[in-house]
Structure formats: C-alpha cells, structure tokens
A and B are shown apart, each in its own frame.
Chain A
Amino acid sequence: MIRAIVVFVLLAIFPLVMQAMDNLFYVSFASRVLIYAIAATSLNLALGYGGMVSFGHAAFFGGGAFVVGILALEGVRSAWIAWPVAIAVAALAACIIGALSLRTRGVYFIMITLAFAQMIYYIFVSLKTYGGDDGLQLPGRSTVGFGTLGNDIVWYYVVLAILALVLYAVHRLVHSRFGRVIDAIRENEARAEAIGFPVYRYKLLCFVIAGAAGGLAGALIANQSSYVSPSLLHWIQSGTLMIMVIVGGVGTLWGGVIGAAVLLGLEHLIADYRIAWLAKLAPNYQDHAGLAVGIVLLTIVMLAPEGIAGLFARPKEK
C-alpha cells in the first residue's frame, strides 16, 4: 500500500519536474507508457490471474481505439459517450470471442484467440471508409465539456488517474470472492469444477472484464496522438502486450506497469540516446534497437523467470 502511494506521488510530480526542466516531450512519452500500462494490466488479468493465455488482446485494445476513432469521424467527440461505447464494444467482442474460445484449452486457446484478433485486423484494414491501411487521423482529443484534454499535462493526469482506478479495481477484484474463485480455477480447474463452481462462466467473466479494460486503454491510445493505426490490431501488438506482462511479472498487480515502462523505456533509450563508447564500436547501432530489445528480453527469460516484479517480490504469500 505504502509502495503504491509512493509510486503514484512520484508519478504525480513527474510532469511538474519536467515542466521545470522545460522538457514536455517526456510528459507525452510518459502518458503513452501509462496507457500501455493499462493495456498490459488488463491482459494480465486474463493471462496472469485467469490463466488464459490470450494471444488476441490487440482485438480489444485496437478495437477500443477504432470505436473512438470512428465515432470522432462521425461527429461524436465527447469522451463521456465515446469511451463508454469503446468499453462496451470491447466487452461485447470479448464476450463473443471468449464464449467460443474457452471451449478449447492450452495451445489451441492461444491460437484461436489469435485467429479472432486477426479476423478483426483484416476487417478493419479493408474498411476503406475508415482509413483502411493508412489508419484514422482524428480531429483532436475527445472533449469533456469543460476544459480541454489537448494540453499534454492535463492529459497525463487524466491517464494517470485512470491507471490508478484500473489498478485499484484489479486489486479489489483479485482479492474479492470472484478473484479467489479465479485463483482456484487457475490452480486446479477440475477441482474447482468438482466443488461446484461454474468454471466456464467465471472464466468468461474474467475474460470479458479484461477485454473491457483493454478497450478503455484503446480509447486512450486513440487520443494520445489523435491517430488510430490498424497496427494496434495486429498480432505483433498482442505479442508486445504479452511480452510487457511477462517481462513485468505474470499475475502480479504491478507487472503490466513495470513491463510497459521497461519495454517502451528501453526502446526509447536506445533510439534517442547516443552512448558514446558504443557508437565508437558500431556507429549505426541506434538503427537496430530491436537487437538490443531482443537481447534484453532473452536475458530476462533466462535469468528472471518470474519477471521483473518477481525479483522484488517478497517470498510467495500463498
């Protein structure tokens, strides 16, 4: 609890420090990280807590972004309407995809969720009215009726507040009766079934909540740069979110946040900072950020199997 408060206080004063240093770029970058943190946290709910390895989370993330984008193009720019609609559409999609996919398990579940996400990707790529391959350029951020979200510092605080709400909700959910049942199902599905829990319905509900939260993150990412790219729906996006969760820590509250910060931070660090001694060895090394990211990921897999959050965790409190 104290740790969470410290983290959020630090995050809250971050833009003030950056403003003092006249470095507003990092405020915008940080809101992107926070949005990805929400997306990764939502996936962690299904993947880490629910034990459902979904390889199609981009469907909800990108789907939410497209709902906001399409509504904006049709003239509905109010956040009070567009964001709940994005969440509802993502939840509905998760309900349909989950209801069908949860009949399979293991690797087949991974692949069928991937298949559904790819279907949605191809459908949006071919919707020429709404950008197709090129994506959607929005007229600006959503409107809230008072003030404006256009200011990057205001936007940062909105995103931060939503992240705090999502983390709190996940925390409460995981420690509720529902969370305990989900725990039991992940640890031993047959036993949970035998005790009398409707396993399928519990898993589906967990999947739908994760999808809805993914849709919320999508609504935010559409606003971040006022641009919705079909690549938000691509399987590489699902893979990236999954990697954030694994890097950060599967089934830990802060896993998604840490993973998003580490992955995006690393990419940014390599692309934008020139390390002198490395540049002497390999002048073009910054063009090959993927190489360093790949090597770091491999190292994490080999050395920290529980993810980064696992390194700091107290001995399991099970």
Chain B
Amino acid sequence: MPASLFLEQTLNGLQFGLMLFLLAAGLTLVFGIMDMINLAHGSLYMIGAYFMASFAQMTGSFWGGMALALVATAIVGALLEMSLLRRLYGRDHLTQVLATFAIILIANEVVRIVWGSQPMLLNTPADLAGPVTLPGGMQYASYRLAIIAVGAVVALLLYLLVAKTRVGMLVRAGASNREMAIAMGVNIRRLFTAVFALGAALCALAGAMLGPILAVQVGMGETILILAFVVIVIGGIGSIRGAFVGSLLVGIVDTGGRAFLPLFFGVFLPPQFASAAGPAVASVLIYLLMAVVLYFRPQGLFPARG
C-alpha cells in the first residue's frame, strides 16, 4: 500500500475526528453536568452552518462570516437553553429525548422556511482553495489542513479553559458531582447557560468549517449527532479528554475503514463482493468499536464520575 495514501487517509481521519470533537465537547459537558440528553445539539450544528452560508454571502468574507455565525449560534443556543431546555433538567431521560426530538423537527422546518429546501453552497476561502505540497511530495487540500489546524487550536484552547481556569474548574466540579457543586455555592444555572452557549458556538464552528466540504442542508445535523453520541459514550460521558480521544478514534477508524477495507477485502474476495462488503463493514465499524468499548468498559474509556 502506498505510504502517501496512508498519510492522506490519516489526515482525513484526523480532520473528521477534530470536527467531531467540536460537537462532542459541548454534548459531553451538557450531558455530564446536567445529566441531560440533548438530541437538538445537531440542530445547532445545522443552524450554525446555515448562518455561516448566509453571513459569508452577506459580508463577502469567509472568516468575517464565520465570526458572525459563531456569535449568532451562541445566542440561539443560550436562548434555547433559557427558554426550554432549562425546564427539562429535572425530568427523566425519556422526556428529554421527546422534547429535544421535537426541537429537531421544529428547527428543521424553521430552517426550511427561512432558507428553503435547496442545499446551500459555501465556497472555500480563496486563499485556501488550492492544494499544498506536504513534506514528502504529497499533494493535500490546503483547506483540509486549515480544518485540522483550527480543530487542534480550539481543542487546545478548550483544554486550557477546562483544565486551567476558574470557570473550567466549576465545569469540572459540576460534571463530577453536581449536587456537591451546588452545595458549595456554584451558580449552576448561569454556568450552564454559558456552557450551552459555548457548546453552540463550537457546533457552529464545526458546521462552518465542514460547510464547504459537505452540503449545507436540512437533516445534516441528525447524521453527525449520532456520531457525536458514539464519541462521548466511547470517551466516557462528561469527560473532555474522553471526547477528544473518542473523536480521533472514531474519525480515524471511520475514514480508514472506508478507504482500506475494500482494498483489504479485495485481497481474498472476488471484486464484486469486496466492493459491496467493504463499505458495509466500514459503516458498521464505529458502532462495533463502541459496542466493544462498552462491553469491556461500561462507563467509557475515561469515566468523569469517580
């Protein structure tokens, strides 16, 4: 197998994994601190991508549009939390699933009403349109490299925020033992609105960065939402570190599986079987990964609660 293909797929996997991390980070904190299943997290990703497409068109600038989209989505997230989700914290998981499923339906239709049913096009910024030559002579899309860079920087910032700041300390305290944190005088309500707004902004960042690669369309949130859930369950609910490891694992396993399994099956299966079995097993791979992880570590790789 050529080394360049391997490198390319690893980079693709890294890129996908880092974007998944942006979603999973917010989801795992919401889940960990408030014990709340928020299916509507994917809707924020969709809304972020639509804001991005609109603002980029309006301002004529990719990065300017992105800044506006992040702020707008964070505001939407905070409003959603204050108006609806806040009322669901004390309720059981089933109720949360029902309510946030309803929010998905509403969000999809609102997006359809505002932006129409046609997918929106989002162009890569002009200065990142071409390929770059990596050391070793391999060509790779510079925009994808930019995604990796942005994802890595945000992951680092998030780590510093959670591990080294006072706010981060409160978040960790909330995730590991909510009642104790409240008893110690942490204003969980305000903290949580802030966490939710941050999570929404991260969703928007992922939606905006992936917009030029994937289509910006209604329903884009549901597909990635399930992957984000797989990630946080593998990583351990409430753990940022777990979300990070889980994201990279899922990103690389999924991308690698799609690229290499058909080749792998081709070695010992006739071509028509290999081309059918490859993608099938590749799609199943991450769920298999999750099932295996849960079977051996029912609390995920990095349990947040001691």
Residues A53 and B280 in contact, CB atoms below 8 Å apart: no
Contact with B along A280-318 (1 / 0, CB 8 A): 000000011011011101101110010000000000000
Residues B103 and A298 in contact, CB atoms below 8 Å apart: yes
Residues B110 and A291 in contact, CB atoms below 8 Å apart: yes
Interface membership of A247, Cβ < 8 A: yes
Residues A112 and B291 in contact, CB atoms below 8 Å apart: yes
Residues A301 and B95 in contact, CB atoms below 8 Å apart: yes
Interface membership of B128, Cβ < 8 A: no
* Known A-B contacts A123-B280, A247-B98, A301-B98; A104 and B294 likewise in contact (beta carbons under 8 Å): yes
Residues of B within 8 A of A242 (CB): 94, 97-98
* Known A-B contacts A246-B95, A290-B109; A297 and B102 likewise in contact (beta carbons under 8 Å): yes
Residues B280 and A111 in contact, CB atoms below 8 Å apart: no
Residue from A111, A287, A290 in contact with B233 in the complex, judged by beta carbons closer than 8 Å: A111
B222 to A, closest residue via Cβ: A236
Interface size on B, residues (CB 8 A): 45
Interface membership of A166, Cβ < 8 A: no
Interface membership of A83, Cβ < 8 A: no
Interface membership of B287, Cβ < 8 A: yes
Residues A301 and B99 in contact, CB atoms below 8 Å apart: yes
* Known A-B contacts A115-B230, A128-B276; A246 and B98 likewise in contact (beta carbons under 8 Å): yes
Complex: how many Å from CA A137 to CA B31? 42
Interface membership of A176, Cβ < 8 A: no
Interface membership of A80, Cβ < 8 A: no
* Known A-B contacts A291-B105, A291-B106, A301-B98; A112 and B93 likewise in contact (beta carbons under 8 Å): no
Query: What is the minimal beta-carbon distance from A89 to any residue of chain B, in angstroms?
Result: 18
Interface membership of B86, Cβ < 8 A: no
Interface membership of A154, Cβ < 8 A: no
Q: Determine which residue in B31, B103, B287 has the highest number of CB atoms from chain A within 10 A of its CB, and name it.
A: B287
Residues of B within 8 A of A112 (CB): 233, 290-291, 294
Complex: how many Å from CA A298 to CA B102? 6
Residues B226 and A118 in contact, CB atoms below 8 Å apart: yes
Residues of A within 8 A of B37 (CB): 107, 110
Residue from A53, A111, A235, A300 in contact with B94 in the complex, judged by beta carbons closer than 8 Å: A53
Complex: how many Å from CA A288 to CA B112? 8
Interface membership of A271, Cβ < 8 A: no
Residues A298 and B298 in contact, CB atoms below 8 Å apart: no
Residues B91 and A119 in contact, CB atoms below 8 Å apart: no
- Residues of B261-306 whose CB lies within 8 A of A: 276-277, 279-280, 283-284, 287-288, 290-291, 294-295, 298-300
Residues B298 and A104 in contact, CB atoms below 8 Å apart: yes
Complex: how many Å from CA A294 to CA B284? 31
Interface membership of A126, Cβ < 8 A: yes
B272 to A, closest residue via Cβ: A128
A284 to B, closest residue via Cβ: B113
Query: What is the minimal beta-carbon distance from A34 to any residue of chain B, in angstroms?
Result: 23
Residues of B within 8 A of A108 (CB): 233, 294, 298-300
Interface membership of B229, Cβ < 8 A: yes
Residues B287 and A115 in contact, CB atoms below 8 Å apart: yes
Interface membership of B101, Cβ < 8 A: yes
Complex: how many Å from CA A107 to CA B207? 26
Interface membership of A239, Cβ < 8 A: yes
Residue from B93, B101, B113, B283 in contact with A110 in the complex, judged by beta carbons closer than 8 Å: B93
Interface membership of A114, Cβ < 8 A: yes
Query: What is the minimal beta-carbon distance from B273 to any residue of chain A, in angstroms?
Result: 11
Interface membership of A122, Cβ < 8 A: yes
The 8 closest A-B pairs by CB, nearest first: A126-B280, A294-B105, A297-B102, A122-B283, A291-B109, A294-B106, A115-B287, A290-B105
Given contacts A119-B284, A305-B91, 11 further A-B contacts (CB under 8 A): A111-B233, A118-B287, A126-B277, A126-B280, A243-B98, A246-B97, A287-B112, A288-B113, A290-B108, A294-B103, A302-B99
Q: What residues of chain A have their CB less than 8 Å away from a CB belonging to chain B?
A: 47, 53, 55, 100, 103-108, 110-112, 114-116, 118-119, 122-123, 125-128, 235-236, 239, 242-243, 246-247, 250, 287-288, 290-291, 293-295, 297-298, 300-302, 305
